[in-house]
Structure 1
Amino acid sequence: MTHAPLDFLRATSTSYDAIAKDYTALHPDGLAHHPLDRNLITVFAELVRANSDAPVADLGSGPGHVAARLHALGVPVFGIDVSPGMVALAREAHPALRFHVGSMTSLDLPDESLGGILALYSTIHVPDDHLPTAFAEFHRTLVPGGHVLLAFQSGSEDGHRRLTERFGHEIDLDLYWRTPETLEARLTEAGLEPHTRILREPHGEETLPRAFVYAHKPAHEPVRQS
């Protein structure tokens, strides 16, 4: 089955609504057993604070634990998730923080209003032909010099599979894994500048390597020749 344009948003939202409580019960803090991942977020927080006091958007915020960690690091942050069920659980767990329903492909945010964008394992549900739209939104909403941190499943080549069941629930969820080179190329096309990549081997029950890519919006955009 192939999703029609933008149907992937509905399928992703419905799927995560179905598994939200079970997922959150199993992963109340997805960073608890990953010290490298935690420290990469700390580095991201330092980069953001050094450039701007504008807030960070945690895109695909899930149960809200990553936004809570950034908040503890002194970064103003709010979460956006395509799943109303996930947003409700994040609000319940972290009432001091703001979470709302939305999509990275159409951010309801003003231009140049974000100091940073964090997208941990959320671009994995965005089809290839919608990545340029999402990254164009990143560029539009970031302040000059604003930072991006992506985390995603990776491998020696790009791949895709569809998940139809999890935690005993029927779902319809696409999962895309990509090489760092693929994601860096898409970021560059959107006017963002990748500058650091880290690849770690699978840990525990993970079956694919994890990649992390840092990028930033140039502080001074190049002058385009007419």
Structure 2
Amino acid sequence: MDESDWLADTRTSYDTVAADYADLLRDALAEEPFQRGILALFAELARARGSGPIADVGCGPGRLTGHLHRLGLDAFGVDLSPAMIEVARRDHPGLRFEVGTMTCLDLADESLTGLLAWFSLIHVPDAEVPTVLAEFHRVLRPGGVVLLGFHAGDGSRLKTEGYGGHPMRVYVHRRPPERVAGWLAAAGFTVEAEMAHHPAPGVEGGFVFAHR
């Protein structure tokens, strides 16, 4: 599968599920104290770098963009799916949302204080991850903080249905935190922490903090 194939499949899949995805996950963070704590740490680290914009890359319907805004950050969202961006603008009318791809961000060099990619790298093939992380490094200013959240583990599966039973065609990639940390280091980041979260039997999330 080449780059255009996986990007097109991801865009179409999330356009299809956007409305139900937003409804199903709108209040999910209220049930996730560990995730709220991780996001609060990200916000504290970002504020320590000084003022400046924070990008939520792969923002979906903007629920975490809104959460970061409530934590006092100048947050905006970017997502590949126009339908997701439409929902985000509807649900968070005071915030900025843009259609874009993490493989080629429409952002100036060294323009961000922080960048969040919350379970949005999970559909990026291994071969494309260095391109994405190079973009993250480019748009972050020196000292800027990045937080990656992802499905931990190993292996990939093709997801053909989700979020209200709608058809999808996206590969979901699981990666151990140490592999993601290694990719970040290779892209020029300084890794600060690797974390694993086990919210349910057989379910594992990974989180890596780093800075440029």
Q: Confirm or deny that 1:179 pairs with 2:206.
A: no
- Distance across 2 between alignment mates of 1:75 and 1:144: 18
Normalised by the length of structure 2, the TM-score is 0.96
Partner of 2:72: 74
Is the 2:196–2:207 Cα contact (8 Å) retained in structure 1?
A: yes
Change (3 A) 1:207 1:86: farther
Deviation of 1:126 after TM superposition, in Å, equals 0.5
Supply the AA of the counterpart residue of 2:190.
E
- Distance across 1 between alignment mates of 2:17 and 2:49: 37
Point out the structure with the larger strand share.
Answer: 2
Larger Rg: 1
Runs of 4 or more, structure 1, over 4 Å off, are none
Point out the structure with the larger helix share.
Answer: 2
Q: Confirm or deny that 1:190 pairs with 2:187.
A: yes
List per-residue Cα deviations over 1:177-224 (Å, max 9, x = no partner).
100011011101100111111111133xx742011110000xxxxxxx
Supply the AA of the counterpart residue of 2:130.
P
Q: Confirm or deny that 1:215 pairs with 2:210.
A: yes
2:41 maps to which of 35, 40, 43: 43
- SS at 1:63's partner residue? coil
- Distance across 2 between alignment mates of 1:11 and 1:86: 14
Supply the AA of the counterpart residue of 2:8.
R
Deviation of 1:73 after TM superposition, in Å, equals 1.2
- Distance across 1 between alignment mates of 2:103 and 2:16: 22
List per-residue Cα deviations over 1:77-107 (Å, max 9, x = no partner).
1000111111100100000000111111100
Partner of 2:159: 163
1:89-104 → structure 2 map (5 Å cutoff): 89-104=87-102
Supply the AA of the counterpart residue of 1:169.
H
- Distance across 2 between alignment mates of 1:82 and 1:135: 16
Percent identity between the aligned chains? 47
Normalised by the length of structure 1, the TM-score is 0.90
Change (3 A) 1:20 1:114: same
